[in-house]
């Protein structure tokens, strides 16, 4: 079966979703990311969805699950690059992506991960600001 590649970039994992995912592929990504977070002790996960033409409830749920699992494993997740039409549609669909942090692009997403990790470093044991 196809897999979505996961790259390691410093303390973060980087995923760029380039294909129209069927449900099993989305579930495989969830599993693979979980394994990799633990394997490399990743502190951040950046998911670039700029190539995705739609986010339906299943893909949305997968993104929310990944963010929750990552949080349990002490990593922050940022989803970047959502297209405007996708954002409009998501809201109308009724999907609010609970617990998922977003940034406009990969550069801002990486900056967000870095600042969240810095904030954590300054106040050990405390929740990063705004964590859901």
Partner 1 sequence: MPRSTVRIQSGEDVVRVRQEVRRIAIEAGLGLVDQTKIVTAASELARNTLDYGKGGEAAIEIVQAGPRRGVRIVFEDNGPGIADIELALKDGYSSGKGMGLGLGGAKRLCNEFAIESAPGQGTRVTVARWK
94 binds partner 1 (CB under 8 A): yes
User: In the β-sheet with 101-103, what is the strand arrangement from edge to edge?
Assistant: 6-9, 12-16, 44-48, 76-80, 101-103
Distance of CA 60 to the CA centre of its chain: 11
- Does the protein bind partner 1 through residue 93 (CB under 8 A)? yes
What is the pattern of x (binds partner 1, CB under 8 A) and - over residues 73-92? ----------xxxx-xx--x
57 counts as binding partner 1 under rule CB under 8 A = yes
2 binds partner 1 (CB under 8 A): no
Question: What kind and span of H or E run contains 13?
Answer: strand 12-16
Cα angle at 5 between 57 and 61, to 5 degrees?
15
Phi, psi (degrees; rounded to nearest 5) at 116: -65, -40
- Does position 97 interact with partner 1 (CB under 8 A)? The reply is no
Shortest CB 17 distance to partner 1, Å? 13
Binding site for partner 1 (CB under 8 A): 20-25, 53-58, 60-61, 83-86, 88-89, 92-95
């Amino acid at each position: 079966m196809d897999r979505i590649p996961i790259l390691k970039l410093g303390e973060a994992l980087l995923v760029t979703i380039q294909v129209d995912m069927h449900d099993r592929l989305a579930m495989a990504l969830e599993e693979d990311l979980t394994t990799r977070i633990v394997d490399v002790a990743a502190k951040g996960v950046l998911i670039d969805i700029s190539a995705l033409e739609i986010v339906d409830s299943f893909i949305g749920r997968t993104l929310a699950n990944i963010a929750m699992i990552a949080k349990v494993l002490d990593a922050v997740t940022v989803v970047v690059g959502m297209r405007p039409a996708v954002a409009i549609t998501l809201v109308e669909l009724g999907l609010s992506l609970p617990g998922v942090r977003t940034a406009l692009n990969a550069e801002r997403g990486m900056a967000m991960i870095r600042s969240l990790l810095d904030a954590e470093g300054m106040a050990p044991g405390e929740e990063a600001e705004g964590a859901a």
